[in-house]
Structure 1
Amino acid sequence: MIDADSLAFDFSLPGTEGDEISKYRLSNHTNGGAVVLVFYPFDFSPICTEELCGFRDAEWLTFTDDVEVFGISRDSCYAHKRFIQKYDLSFPLLSDTEGEVIKEFDLMYDEWEHHTGVPKRALVTLNESHDICYKWQTEDAYNSPNMDELEQSVLSLVDKQPQ
């Protein structure tokens, strides 16, 4: 199990920001600041839509250049493209169709609403050294994260960056 104060492994997943499908490697995005990984069950589900639109609308993220947000689910990049386009999301969604990254972070339900291998709703914040500085997860996928806690965690990382 990976918890706060652990070191996150480097991974590479296909993903999209709405147009092209590309490969995203974690280590290519941690060089200049903080990374927030948003694990969620499904594109287009009501709670996931609300959560990801909350990230899109979070003012503190729009004023912070040193933070990158990545959504991760087992949905395909094609579903992600449509989801991004429909809700005008401003960050990439990564496709962990085999569930390897989700399993490595120990964030997979055995069974949820008659689906197996569904990602748990979780947030993981990493610094440029891949240290896990904040981790929130819930066993109840209907629970939403505390965005104020996440904001404080992320902004404390950004404040520690050399100027």
Structure 2
Amino acid sequence: MPLSVGDTAPNFTVKDTIGKTVSLSEYAGKPVVLYFYPKDDTPGCTKEACSFRDNYEQYLSQGITVFGVSLDDEASHQQFTEKFNLPFPLLADVDGAIAKAYDVLTERNGTPYAQRVTYVIGSDGKIAKVYTTIQTDTHASDILAEMGA
């Protein structure tokens, strides 16, 4: 069961698409959308990433940081980012520590992956919204609409 609204978002430190170290604590006081997805360059995950890409300017204009998280490594994230021109960082949760902390780590046929769950983290560091039912091609715009953006 994913974390709940009102829970404090677990901090993490991990490498992003370009090998930069990212910690959630660096974004204290700012809203963050943290979306977990199973695998780079698969049909549903590509639709979801492109949904955030196509709405990214709106997120920026609202002061919202977007991070995609999967268990793929930096090289996979780099290829996925370049192939689909993704303007936001993907976090390389290769050991599944972030997915585990956010209670979205699962496995299929012995292969671990992150379930498709999105957390909106408020500027207070608490989880403001949890999305577990996701329409991949409209997810990013659905979040913005619900936020009144």
Alpha-carbon distance between aligned partners in 2 of 1:4 and 1:96, rounded to the nearest angstrom: 23
Give TM-score scaled by structure 2 length: 0.87
- 1:77-116 matches, within 5 Å, as 77-111=74-108, 114-116=109-111
Q: Partner residue of 1:10?
A: 11
After superposition, the Cα gap between the structure-2 partners of 1:86 and 1:134, relative to the gap in structure 1 and judged at 3 Å, is same
- Aligned to 1:54, the other structure's residue is in SS state helix
Given that residues 48 and 140 in structure 2 are in contact (C-alpha distance below 8 angstroms), is that contact kept between their aligned partners in structure 1? no
Structure 1 residue 61: deviation in Å? 2.3
Query: Which whole-Å CA distance do the structure 1 matches of 2:107 and 2:139 have between them?
Result: 25
Larger RCO (CA within 8 A; separation ≥ 6): 2
In structure 2, the partner of 1:25 is 23
Q: Which has the larger radius of gyration?
A: 1
Moved over 6 A (4+): none
- Once the two structures are superposed, the pairs formed by residues 3-152 of structure 1 within 5 Å of their partners are 3-16=4-17, 20-31=18-29, 33-58=30-55, 61=58, 64-111=61-108, 114-138=109-133, 144=136, 146-152=139-145
Q: Which amino acid aligns with 1:28?
A: E
| TM-score, length basis structure 1 | 0.80
Report % sequence identity. 28
Distance across 2 between alignment mates of 1:2 and 1:115: 24
The 8 Å contact of residues 74 and 118 in structure 1, kept in 2 or not, is answered as yes
Measured in 2, the distance between the counterparts of 1:129 and 1:71 equals: 20
* Unaligned 5+ runs, structure 2: none
RMSD across aligned positions (CA): 2.2
